[in-house]
Amino acid sequence: MKVVVNARYGSPDVLEIREVPKPEPRPGEILIRVHATTVTRTDCGFLRASPFFIRFFTGLRRPKATILGMDFAGEVEAVGTGVGSFSPGDRVFGMSPDIFGAHAEYFRVSERGAVATIPGGLPYREAVVCEGAWYANAILSRFGVALGQRILIYGASGAIGTAAVQLAKARGAEVTAVVETKHLDLVDSLGADHVVDYTAEDFTKIGEQFDFVMDAVGKTTFFRCRKLLEPEGMYAATDLGPWVQNPLLTLWSAITKSNRVVFPLATDARSFVAFLRDRLETGEIRAVIDRTYLLDEIADAYRYVETGRKTGIVVVDVAGDGVATEDP
């Protein structure tokens, strides 16, 4: 089978496609024939070991995880002894936040992992939305977003942002999405109540205040956004921020009990995938796909994601189910 290997840290040029033996499922595991996966900002960060300190967790000199890829969707090829929840032929999706490994033609996961059956006839490429939605849901849950509350989502056109708009609307929130001109129609179609074009006006000067402000792309700061917050409002971002300020501000907010800044970590992937399955089935969330690449083109997918200009998710068509395209 083919796998995409990053034997060392570096640019997408270090990626190699290799032929390796197909694994066999161990007791309690399922073997998945991967049809679709994604390339994300997380993959790019792990490929380059950026920020540098992640090497203390991923390997100082060389990466411990040499096959990246968190999101997957595919068909159960075989099951190990003791598996009762899945059978060969089941269409499944999920994510692997601990060991990655989905940039491969076959991938084995624990039956008790973050995996669920794909609802209805949803195409594989539309089921690989877990990672962005997982991060978005972690922030919305920490905020406690509820019916009637107001949230501003900066960078609402990325993987996290498009999921956040939809999940916030499903919670009954009033959503203001901040995007560039070409994405206005997109976020409107996702259910945003108000849309701000940041290329046409300064979103921090719109004269409104919100219960929550979420930076979904890591391109603004609390200090720039704080005047958008109600007196008891909360801010969260999806990255560390300049000089690692977001975790530090979170710590200070906890010490002072102001709770103005939060930096929640996504946890319990298994429960989240089950939750997401229900949202996909009801249509409360859908995939926004920017581009699709074939497995042999995965280095190009990384290069595109690294531009920081992607819309929604970038899919890798591992099984060749559809025509790869570079057009959003």
* Domain spans, the chain: 2-128+287-317, 131-262
Name the least confident of 152-156, 158-162, 242-246, 312-316: 242-246
Confidence band, pLDDT 50/70/90 cuts, at residue 254? confident
Q: Which fold has domain 2-128+287-317?
A: Quinone Oxidoreductase; Chain A, domain 1 (3.90.180)
Confidence band, pLDDT 50/70/90 cuts, at residue 322? low
136-155 confidence digits (pLDDT tens): 999 999 999 999 999 999 99
Cα–Cα dist 196/174, whole Å: 14
- Tokens standing for residue 10: 């570096």
pLDDT at 146: 96
pLDDT at 258: 84
Cα–Cα dist 211/231, whole Å: 8
Q: Which CATH number fits domain 131-262: 3.90.600.10, 3.40.1050.10, 3.40.120.10, 3.40.50.720?
A: 3.40.50.720
DSSP, res 206: S
- What beta strand segments (E) does the chain contain? 2-5, 16-19, 29-39, 71-79, 91-95, 106-110, 115-117, 150-154, 174-179, 194-197, 210-215, 229-237, 261-262, 289-294, 313-317
Cα 145–chain centre separation: 19
Cα 214–chain centre separation: 15
Average confidence (pLDDT) over 91-120: 96
Predicted confidence (pLDDT) at residue 116 exceeds the cutoff of 90:
yes
CA nearest to 126, candidates 274, 280, 306: 280
Confidence band, pLDDT 50/70/90 cuts, at residue 303? very high
CA nearest to 37, candidates 114, 116, 101, 112: 101
Average confidence (pLDDT) over 80-93: 97
Residue 84 phi, psi dihedral angles, 5° rounding:
-125, -10
Average pLDDT, the chain: 94
What pTM does this model have?
Answer: 0.93
Predicted confidence (pLDDT) at residue 327 exceeds the cutoff of 60:
no
Relative orientation angle of helices 298-305 and 41-48, to the nearest 10 degrees: 100
- Positive or negative: CA dihedral 186, 168, 282, 83: positive
pLDDT at 319: 94
Predicted confidence (pLDDT) at residue 83 exceeds the cutoff of 70:
yes
Owner of token pair 């059978």 = 87
First to last CA, the chain: 29
